[in-house]
Copies of this chain bind each other. A is one copy, B any other.
Amino acid sequence: MIEIRNVTRSYGAFKALDEANLSINEGEFFSLLGPSGCGKTTLLRMIAGFDNPTTGSIAVDDQPMAGIPANRRPTNMVFQSYAIFPHLNVEQNVGYGLKRLKLEAGEERRRVEEALAQVSLTGLGKRGATELSGGQRQRVALARALVMRPKVLLLDEPLSALDKKLREQMQVELRRLQQAVGITFVLVTHDQYEALAMSDRIAVMFGGRIAQVASPKEIYQRPVNRQVADFLGGMNFVRGEIIEENGASLTLDTLGFGRVSTEKPTAFVRNGGAATLGIRPERLRVLWDDETSQFQVTGTVVERHYFGEITHLVVEIPGLEKPLSVTETNDFGADDIPVGSAVRLAYDPEALVAMAD
């Protein structure tokens, strides 16, 4: 559906995008995930046709896009800065693209109403563009693109100004829409949960380069390197010495976790005799007094952070350079474990993954 081949975009000497390669399939929900300034918007703008690659090519539906202006591309975009037309009211903004299609008056109204309902803005149709709150603007921008039912919908952080509840509702709505109409979605987001929850596949970018393209689970569980691992949520890193390496498996000796056997990543690059192992904080669980586990480490709680649903503990383990982060749901009072107390942490050895630095 969308083929991005060796696309580079330079601003002077600075490369906002560096040799990017991607193929996005028809009907796929694809996300671009990466830290601020990594080139997400830049890439999206080139797909939409507002900017041109310095080198490289972009094709949509097997058709090279070079030279095709934005209005003749089968894409619609939700702008990060919203780009609401200030001289039009909400309804007119949303109906903007429909006007050109010369629908029956009733039909146009109906579709505008529907789009406004989808973004929970029913009743605000007559509001002026300058009389909206930040989140309302963003939703108008979203409705304006949704109403067009394009082949490819490009969304540049379309939900960043919305509260969690509304965002979740919109996420569901977007997924529903995508599956119902079969639109290809390219979502730019800085919210890893959003990307993980919604996407079929995710591309993780850093500093203009694409680091990994994979399914949410794959990316979360088997990040190719520390950077990706780190970006997708906390990760505890453990250095290990490679003891044995055969076929698909790898055995290492670690200080904190002892001897560990793990699956060898496809693109594993040996870096001397040592390797990095990662384990997510939520894959560690505090054992209660009466519980035991075959795989466990013991340490001392040094910090505790309360986050409503969950609590983060920082646990110092003798032998490990850095203390481990542990996430616990607050089901049985993890938020009451006193700082300074000793805890035992259980883990699943499968959760320990080897990766590049």
Contact = CB atoms under 8 A, between A and B. Distances in A.
A244 interface: no
A35 B190 contact: no
A309 B333 contact: no
A164 B230 CA distance: 10
A161 interface: yes
A196 interface: yes
A316 interface: no
A129 to B, nearest CB: 13
B329 A310 contact: yes
Given A306-B216, A307-B193, A308-B196, A134 B330 contact: no
A166 B164 CA distance: 18
A231 B309 contact: no
A305 interface: yes
A230 B165 contact: yes
Interface of A: 11, 33-37, 40-41, 80-81, 131-136, 138-139, 156-157, 160-166, 190-193, 196-197, 216-217, 220, 230-233, 280-285, 305-310, 327-333, 346-348
A354 B156 CA distance: 41
A139 B190 CA distance: 14
Q: Give the number of times this chain occurs in the complex, counting copies.
A: 2
Interface of chain A, main secondary structure:
mixed
Contacts of A34: 163
A285 B309 CA distance: 12
Nearest to A163: B190
Given A36-B136, A331-B346, A333-B348, 7 more contacts: A37-B135, A134-B157, A157-B161, A163-B192, A164-B190, A164-B192, A282-B310
The 4 residue pairs across chains A and B that have the minimum distance between CB atoms: A36-B135, A163-B190, A282-B329, A285-B331
Contacts of A131: 11
6 contacts: A36-B136, A37-B135, A40-B133, A80-B161, A284-B331, A331-B346
